Structure 1
Amino acid sequence: MSGHPGGPATAAPGTRTRPSRRLVRTVTVVASCLAVLAAAVVVGVRALGQEPTVTLLANWTGDDEKDFREAVLEPFERKYHIRVDYQGSNAESQVLGADVEAGTPPDVVVLTGPGELADYARQKHLLPLEDLVDPKDFGTSWAMPLADGHVYWFPLKADLKSIVWYPAGVGEEQRAQAARQPAEWCVGMGSGATSGWPGTDWIEDILLQRYGPKVYGDWARGRLPWRSQQVKAAWTAWRGLVGAGGDPALVRRALKTPYDAASQPVTARPRGCTLEHQASFIRGQRAWQQADGRYAPSAQLLAGTAANQAWEVSGDLVALLHATPAAEKLIRHLASADAQRAWSAKESGFSVHTDVRPAPGDAGPDWRRSLARTLRDARETHCFDASDAMPPAVRDAFAEATIEFLAHPDHLDTLLRSLDTLSGTQGLTWLPSVCDGAPDQPSGLSPAPMPG
């Protein structure tokens, strides 16, 4: 307030009146009392349950959590006067499993695994979303109906995986030469409770590029044995690319390095590695920013592949566990073009919402616009990350097997036999499809038998 209620005090031009010390003290005391009173009112309202709250579990921490809060959650809280109790965890699958077991799951969850979500849907822990979200806004490959006809998730963000990053200035011939030298690949297998998943991405992508989406889809849906010629060939091709069974120093580096630190040698002098087979989100790492990272389709650099047959993709998928009014409002908000556009603008990922497209003359970097176009191009074949699409027990065993294989390549037959046995377990939940335009046989909420 700029003046006294009765009008401004008279002062000579160019001078300022100085409030009395008593007035300053009085104003300070009143302001402090009002602040305490306001805080008490907020606490009282929450205690009485008059301020709705929705609980949300996701995997974003650090800068990603900050961006998510600022771009998506805070606008929601201001608009609807609903508080979001957010929990970010790098071990969200384990956290969610423990919460569900204890009977205290969050209202809304964001998971990377449709296979895990399909299992929760089979157990009746998830609620259908058709009345809250239009699946056509994302397409059936992203908001997939299961065998019961219901859609239980949609993507908040997406990433492209069938790509290889390299520093600006490294030409096509240099990249081809580097791809044949295991020491030139930046590899990090560490990721806390989910260590090993970078290895699954390699094997999945090699299989997809060599044998196409049909073979890939059969395997990801539990209908092609792990000991099949195609799957085994993908494992052995990865062994050759990264030097497993060759240079022990390379293997130790890969096993000891966290996935998000694998690219650091790119900026060393001399350069410690040149190529990284990793999803689009890795471009946000400081090393690739400093190296002005560019990407090439993985089919150009993975030995033995033909022209790019399909793109492996991943997504952060939103699902509903409690249909409270506050949770339903949050679901609608997260599925809205505005929220998805705001999150995508933070460059933490890409939206595949049909109404979120780069504006004409978008000033974003060429690599980002190119990735966005590929993710949204209906003419391209997109196949969801196979391990994420598998039942959680198979996914986790696959990740662990890649670590064991790097250290002991001669254990491959034993590892594949164990994965076949596990995949044949009765009662596992397999998805009906993992690739665009490949509906296959519906099996989303029922076990899919392994071929004999």
Structure 2
Amino acid sequence: MSAPHGGPAPAAPGRPRPSRRLARIVTLVAICLAVLVAAVVVGVRALGREPTVTLLANWTGDDERNLRKAVIEPFERKYHIRVEYQGSAAESQVLGADVEAGTPPDVVVLTGPGELAEYARQKNLVALEDLIPRHAFGASWATPLADGHVYWFPLKADLKSIVWYPAGVGERQRADAAKEPAEWCVGMGSGATSGWPGTDWIEDILLQRSGPRVYAQWARGDLSWRSKPVRQAWTTWRDLIGAGGDRGLVRRALMTPHDRASEPITTVPRGCTLEHQASFIRNKTRWERVDGRYEPSARRIPGATGNGAWEVSGDLVALLHGTPEAKRLTRYLASAEAQRAWSAAESGFSVNSGARPAPGAAGSPWHRSLADILVDDHAVHCFDASDAMPPSVRDAFAEATIEFLAHPGHLETLLRSLDILSGTPGLTWVPSVCDRAP
């Protein structure tokens, strides 16, 4: 029955009529109970989820598995914070796209301080000096920028000024092999970053021939690409690996991925003998099969002065979101605990002063000896120059090595172009790449 206009409908005969006040109270209680139940459900769900931090790095395959086992899983167990890890060989491109879209990861690990310096200039990075142990990392590893802040530190380090050879290849054989371009295992391919093995060669030649002071000037943009020391580094590399010479040899170098360059060392007869490559290459199956040994590259570079300088590289941690979870992960990655665990997995080396292996510690002899060089207080460590350069210069340098390998007669044009690019206004240069530059 509908209520007539102007008043409520009459109560049914024989049934008591509820008051308006009681009805309103019942309704209000029902609403409050519904809200409370919803809040409890949301709270229970929230309590069931661990806080999360996102991490982007370039490690995949075995390196990713080692990272998860040695570093990520212990962090998750200890702090009850879940790490959403993304590994990509194109991490620079992934990070650039994410930053442009406004969805960057909380923490990133990049190989290039030059790239990170540009993100810092754009105010995309959080300063780290309050999050990492004081004096844990040398000046070439955690470099203060012009604003006085530190924005990165290494989780993993590698040595680059070395030449690998199979066990049993003697000194005389190595000396003879270094004079034969076909005896060098060279692979320039690396997808979007192809050419970087060539930049490593030229950087190391410059460092070994001209010393850390000249190297540092060039790496921070204060020395012309057409200067005599830099030009001679290019021509020395040309003579060592036969740039522009045997077409089959040049084609092999250009078409071979860097991680397959050493495949010929296991063939019979051996297809090459020496490889100028960073310390990470020793974990490759081919070098394990031939019990790979190493020596300082200065012994095989013509004109090297024996200045005790080493080119190094690192995978550098930077913070993009200063959330409590992201700060906790950053502190952990900088700790001696995490650094020691990563080094113990032999996926890389730590240069944290508090994570140095104790004398007689377990591990491969080659790994221990390389680790000792990386933390030697009497040596000079200079960061990979191209990684420290602005990204546009770094990429052009890598492309130029590919062009030069095929057409060394184009050197003057290539160096002039690199000089013009390096002089572009607004580029961000890292102020220091060597821990000491006498």
> TM-score, normalised to structure 2's length?
0.89
Residue 286 of structure 1 corresponds to 285
Q: Does 1:180 align with 2:170?
A: no
Residue 447 of structure 1 corresponds to none
Residue 240 of structure 2 corresponds to 241
Q: Per the alignment, in what secondary structure is the counterpart of residue 163 of structure 2?
A: strand
Runs of 4+ with >3 A deviation: none
Which residue identity lines up with residue 80 of structure 1 in the other structure? Y
Residue 373 of structure 2 corresponds to 374
Measure how far apart 1:80 and its partner are: 1.3
Rounded to whole Å, the distance in 1 between the matches of 2:92 and 2:155 is 17
C-alpha distance after superposition, 1:199-245 (max 9, x if no partner): 00000000000000111111000000111111111111111111111
How many aligned positions are there? 398
Taking a change above 3 Å as real, the CA distance of residues 54 and 376 of structure 1, as seen in their structure-2 partners, is same
Q: Does 1:220 align with 2:227?
A: no
Is the deviation greater in 315-324 or in 134-143?
Answer: 134-143
Residue 23 of structure 2 corresponds to none
Measure how far apart 1:384 and its partner are: 0.3
> TM-score, normalised to structure 1's length?
0.86
Q: Report sequence identity in percent.
A: 76
Q: Per the alignment, in what secondary structure is the counterpart of residue 126 of structure 2?
A: coil
Q: Does 1:231 align with 2:230?
A: yes
Residue 426 of structure 1 corresponds to 425
In the alignment, is the contact (CA less than 8 A) between 2:344 and 2:363 conserved in 1? no
Q: Which runs of 5+ in 1 are unaligned?
A: 1-40, 440-452
C-alpha distance after superposition, 1:43-99 (max 9, x if no partner): x846x8942111110000001001101110011111111111111011111111111
Which residue identity lines up with residue 225 of structure 2 in the other structure? W
Q: Indicate the structure (1 or 2) with the bigger Cα radius of gyration.
A: 2
Residue 313 of structure 1 corresponds to 312
Residue 382 of structure 2 corresponds to 383
Taking a change above 3 Å as real, the CA distance of residues 165 and 45 of structure 1, as seen in their structure-2 partners, is farther
Residue 151 of structure 2 corresponds to 152
C-alpha distance after superposition, 1:75-134 (max 9, x if no partner): 111111111111101111111111111111100000001111111111100010111112
Measure how far apart 1:437 and its partner are: 2.3
Q: Per the alignment, in what secondary structure is the counterpart of residue 414 of structure 2?
A: helix
Q: Per the alignment, in what secondary structure is the counterpart of residue 353 of structure 2?
A: coil
Which residue identity lines up with residue 335 of structure 2 in the other structure? S
Rounded to whole Å, the distance in 2 between the matches of 1:363 and 1:151 is 33
Residue correspondence of structure 1 range 25-40 to structure 2 within 5 A: none
Is the deviation greater in 365-374 or in 102-111?
Answer: 365-374
Measure how far apart 1:141 and its partner are: 2.0
Rounded to whole Å, the distance in 2 between the matches of 1:387 and 1:77 is 35
In the alignment, is the contact (CA less than 8 A) between 1:221 and 1:431 conserved in 2? yes
Rounded to whole Å, the distance in 2 between the matches of 1:69 and 1:352 is 20
Taking a change above 3 Å as real, the CA distance of residues 52 and 299 of structure 1, as seen in their structure-2 partners, is same
Measure how far apart 1:366 and its partner are: 2.1
Residue 26 of structure 1 corresponds to none
Residue 364 of structure 2 corresponds to 365
Rounded to whole Å, the distance in 2 between the matches of 1:117 and 1:249 is 39
Q: Per the alignment, in what secondary structure is the counterpart of residue 355 of structure 1?
A: helix
Residue 25 of structure 2 corresponds to none
Residue 203 of structure 2 corresponds to 204
Measure how far apart 1:369 and its partner are: 1.3
Rounded to whole Å, the distance in 2 between the matches of 1:117 and 1:49 is 36
Which residue identity lines up with residue 185 of structure 2 in the other structure? C
Residue 445 of structure 1 corresponds to none
In the alignment, is the contact (CA less than 8 A) between 1:135 and 1:143 conserved in 2? no
Q: Does 1:417 align with 2:407?
A: no
Q: Which runs of 5+ in 2 are unaligned?
A: 1-40
Q: Per the alignment, in what secondary structure is the counterpart of residue 136 of structure 1?
A: coil
In the alignment, is the contact (CA less than 8 A) between 2:142 and 2:152 conserved in 1? yes
Measure how far apart 1:139 and its partner are: 2.1
C-alpha distance after superposition, 1:263-314 (max 9, x if no partner): 1111111000000000000001111000100000000001221224410000
Measure how far apart 1:153 and its partner are: 0.5
Q: Does 1:393 align with 2:403?
A: no
